[in-house]
Amino acid sequence: MAGLAVDGVQRVVLHPEDDPLALACGRTLAPVEVAFTTHGTLDATRSNAVFVCHALTGDAEPAGPDGWWDVMVGPGRPVDTDRFFVICPNLLGGCQGTTGPSSIDPRTGAAHGLRFPPLAVSDLVAVHRRLLAHLGIERLHAAIGGSLGGMQVLQWLLDAPGEIANAVMVCTSPRLTAQNLALSAVARRAILDDPDFCGGDYAAHGVRPDRGLAFARRLAHVTYLSEEGMARKFARAEPPGWEREGDGARWLGPAYDVEGYLEHQAEAFLARFDALTYLYLTRIMDAFDPLGPAARVDPAARALCLSFTSDWRFGPEHGRRLAAGLRAAGAGTVVEELVDSPWGHDSFLLAVPDYLEIVRDFLSSGST
């Protein structure tokens, strides 16, 4: 595998019918196909691999002009593809090429729908580890992720001590609060109550629960921003004559900048994402709580826990609990950083200079 350098989305069946994936819920799943990208070149010692775990609505392409994490991954970026061999899959349960609830079940010829088994973060990591074995890599220089991506990195540290030398977890919670659970419940309820959901079999009926999924996306974007960030980003002015012209439908329609932003985000999301994946991945996050008394990590692993001041979804208190839990689990090196940013939870996707420099320094100074 030395010298491996293959860009573009690749697909591989990691769990064929005769080798099903054993899930945390006690069921099995096969076949499991994974879509993934790689960037950079694997060195002769196979010691420069960096695994990127994507967040809730990400995919297998973090780099380049259309990449969801272009500020972090690419030539000269903190995850420097001129130096590192970067691997990023669409995660299990996804809708961008990896097996998920909208994939076709070969036994029935129809989409799995709600018959798809419940998942846990440990199942996502099990598939990541199988992909790593497929690529012939035994140990990662680093694994990095934000939000749900960071949860995967944390679970990996616990499930396979010794496989990750340097772990970067950004905007990550080791356990959701009741407020977070409530926000996710409201989003899921909007999808489940959409008349076009059809008990999860909407594909068979030729419809999509777009109203519910669009509502979920609008709500999510409110939680991803901060009050200060919204004030900086959006004007408060109404359109001229808005309150006097036309009927109630016009008056109640989007008028303020922030309303237009939410409508745009909802429309763009419907073009690329699936409602069942949104349901499954948010539920996975709800149940995540891996740092119990028995949790143990490799004492040689280095961990960076990074939070942003204005993130109220997975804010500084979540980062503190994560760092404390890792120390209690035996981590020898835990770096805890709080970065000032007005942009809320979305800060991990943006070009916040201090944040990017901290990650760059951590990865550059880390052992293999």
Annotated binding site for substrate: 217, 346
Q: Which residues contact 38 (CB under 8 A, 6 or more apart)?
A: 4, 5, 6, 7, 10, 85, 86, 87, 88, 135
Residue 305 pairs in a beta bridge with 169, 336
- For 30, the token pair is 């096969």
- 28: three-class secondary structure by DSSP: strand
Q: Which residues are catalytic?
A: 147, 311, 345
The two tokens of residue 17 are: 């019918």
Q: What is the phi/psi pair of residue 88, to 5°? A: -145, 115
- 96-109 exposure pattern, b = at least 16 Cβ within 10 A, e = fewer: bbbbbbbbeeeeee
Three-state SS for 19? coil
Q: Alpha carbon 31 to chain centroid distance?
A: 23
> In the chain, what's the furthest Cα-to-Cα distance?
70
| 30 neighbors 13 (Cβ within 8 angstroms) | no
Burial of 134 (0-12, 13-18, 19+ CB in 10 A): middle
- Going along 32-184, which residue ranges are E strands? 32-39, 49-53, 73-74, 79-80, 85-89, 104-105, 110-111, 140-146, 164-170
CA distance 135 to 14: 11
Helices 316-328 and 148-159: crossing angle in degrees, nearest 10, is 0
Report residue 208 as tokens. Answer: 């999509």
For tokens 């998920």, the residue is: 100
**Nearest-angstrom CA–CA distance, 24 and 118:** 8
- Cα separation, 256 vs 241, whole angstroms: 13
